[in-house]
Amino acid sequence: MANPEKAAAVAELKELFNASTAAVLTEYRGLSVGQLQQLRRSVRENANYAVVKNTLTEIAAKEVGIESFEGQMTGPSAIAFVHGDAVDVAKALRDFAKDNPQLIVKGGYMDGRPLTEDEVKKLADLESREVLLGKLAGAFIGAQTKAAATFQAPISKMVRTVEALRAKQEDAA
């Protein structure tokens, strides 16, 4: 790769891969510039959506140890480099693709593991991280409340029994 521009592009892609927790590969054939801008805005909070050159992206991915995109880099490709919540990015891509069927999700990777197109769709069906954490916290609080009530019941029975015994002794005296 003698061309310094191509070397710089590969270096930039490697940096994007390394800074990302996940990446989703898409084909955008038939989308207008305005539609691509709309898509970029919809994922901006959690990802950088970039149009990429196939060969340079394959080189950069291999150099950082990502094998997920082998054989998938055909046609006009773009990648959502996720730096936030991958679920939110998958949802945004799914929702955009519903209105714009020209956008095709091909696959991706997350936490160093390849993702198929179906796995990206399943990811989009999950609730966001905040909602899941809220549900988990609610489950813990509910379990603690139930455990506390279960623990308090025998104690309150014991207190009533001791009080009844004390009252009985006072009456007898």
121 lies in the same domain as 131: no
Assessment of whether the complete model's pTM goes beyond 0.75: no
Question: Average model confidence (pLDDT) for the chain?
Answer: 85
Burial class of residue 40, CB neighbours in 10 A (0-12, 13-18, 19+): middle
101 lies in the same domain as 163: no
Predicted confidence (pLDDT) per residue in 4-20, tens digit? 899 999 999 999 999 99
Range of the domain at 116: 4-126
80 lies in the same domain as 141: no
pLDDT at 147 over 70: no
50 lies in the same domain as 95: yes
Virtual CA dihedral for 119, 121, 122, 124, nearest 10 degrees? 130
Q: For residue 30, what is the DSSP state?
A: T
Number of folded domains that form the chain: 2
Predicted confidence (pLDDT) per residue in 106-129, tens digit? 999 998 888 989 999 988 888 766
